[in-house]
Amino acid sequence: MSGIKTHYDNLKVARNAPPEVIRSAYKALSSKYHPDKNPGNPTAERIMKLVNRAYEVLSDPVKRRQHDIWIERMERVEVANLQMGIESEGTRRKKSGPRYLERIIKSIGSSLWDILRVLAFTFKLIIIIAVFAGIINYSITWLIAPDESPVREIDAAESSSEGSINNGVWCAPAPSPQATATTEPDFRLAPNGFPWPAKAGYLEGYEILNRAGLSSITIDNSRNGADVFVKLVVCDDRKLKVARQLFIPAYGVFTLDRVTAGAYDIRGLDHRLVQNRVFR
């Protein structure tokens, strides 16, 4: 093998050369590189030492056989190293080939998909937080239970029994609702002294307060055959302040929009508590 320097190479003979060829080669090289013919020539001296050592080994059958075994062992090592080099090169090419790049792209794509899913979840979480923080419009609906009276006060117990929202924050005491249903008087005039409006809306003559927010409250009277009068009451430092007063006819619906963040009660005509809620 080209990577292994042997005594055969130093004598310039084949590995299967017979003894007479080896002797002839030795004589020729000795005549050429002998120190007597090359006085003061270090290269000739070095080559002559290699030639003498080669002839010493190859002229002895035992030493020659040992040298042949060593050559075979070194050749096997060289072949193994060469194969490893070829495999490494193949691996390198495989890693730089289209399929390897495709796997890398798929891996990156999978990672990007995971990142997008995390971002989507984070975005949803931000939306939820924003809703509760009052950054995004938040709507809440109160359902008014059916009643027979033409204009009535909303009863808190009835509102709860009809499935209205009950997880608000208590913020002010209110008179206890009646345990049993009673017939309310016929209120012919609104609190402002005028007849009740013909459609749902705020009562004239009263201020419409707390309109700097993004939340909304929908009062749903669509299942009730009676008109209702509703007050939106602000709970500020345990003090009650009426922010809006409105009328909703039977089977009507009305939405209070742009409600400012804060704690509110929904109360009836005699200031009875129907429901309370906090907008933050």
User: What's the number of domains the chain is made of?
Assistant: 2
Of 96, 123, 153, the residue that ends a domain is: 96
Does residue 102 fall inside a structural domain?
A: no
Residue 52 lies in a domain: yes
Q: Taking the alpha carbons of 125, 129, 135, 138 in that order, is the dihedral positive or negative?
A: positive
> Which has the closest alpha carbon to 230: 221, 222, 238, 239?
221
- CA–CA dist 156, 178 (Å, integer): 9
pLDDT tens for 39-68 read 999 999 999 999 999 999 999 999 999 999
Q: If you average pLDDT over each of 9-13, 124-128, 224-228, which comes out highest?
A: 9-13
| Domain at 41, CATH number | 1.10.287.110
Residue 109 placed within a domain: no
Classify 260 as helix, strand or coil.
Answer: coil
Over the chain, what is the mean pLDDT?
74
Whether 121 is covered by a domain: the verdict is no
Which pLDDT band holds residue 208 (cuts at 50, 70, 90)?
Answer: very high
- Give residue 144's identity as a one-letter amino acid code: I
Domain extent for 157: 139-279
Q: Are residues 162 and 258 in the same domain?
A: yes
144 with 269, same domain? yes
Q: Is 221 domain-assigned?
A: yes
pLDDT for the residue numbered 193: 81
Which of 96, 122, 152 lies at the terminal end of a domain, its last residue?
Answer: 96
145 residue type, one letter: A
DSSP 189: B
Which of the four pLDDT bands, split at 50, 70 and 90, describes residue 258? very high
What residues does 265 pair with on adjacent strands?
233, 276
The verdict on residue 127 lying in a domain is no
**Domain final position from 96, 130, 158:** 96
Is residue 39 within 8 A of residue 25, CB to CB? The reply is no
Among 164, 161, 163, 273, which residue's Cα sits nearest to residue 218?
164
pLDDT band at 245 (very low <50, low <70, confident <90, very high): very high
Half-sphere exposure for 62 (CA within 13 Å, toward CB): 0
Does 89 share its domain with 143?
A: no
- Measured CA to CA, the distance from residue 28 to residue 48 in angstroms comes to 11
Q: Are residues 169 and 264 in the same domain?
A: yes
- Residue 162 domain-assigned? yes
How many Cβ atoms sit within 10 Å of the Cβ of residue 228? 25
Q: Are residues 171 and 265 in the same domain?
A: yes
Q: Are residues 73 and 153 in the same domain?
A: no
Whether this prediction's pTM lies above 0.85 is answered by no
* DSSP structure string for 119-155: HHHHHHHHHHHHHHHTSS--EEEEEPPP-SSSEEPPP
What is the dihedral sign for C-alpha 7, 12, 15, 19? Answer: negative
Q: Is the pLDDT of residue 70 over 90?
A: yes
User: What are the tokens at 276?
Assistant: 């309370």
Tally of residues, the chain: 280
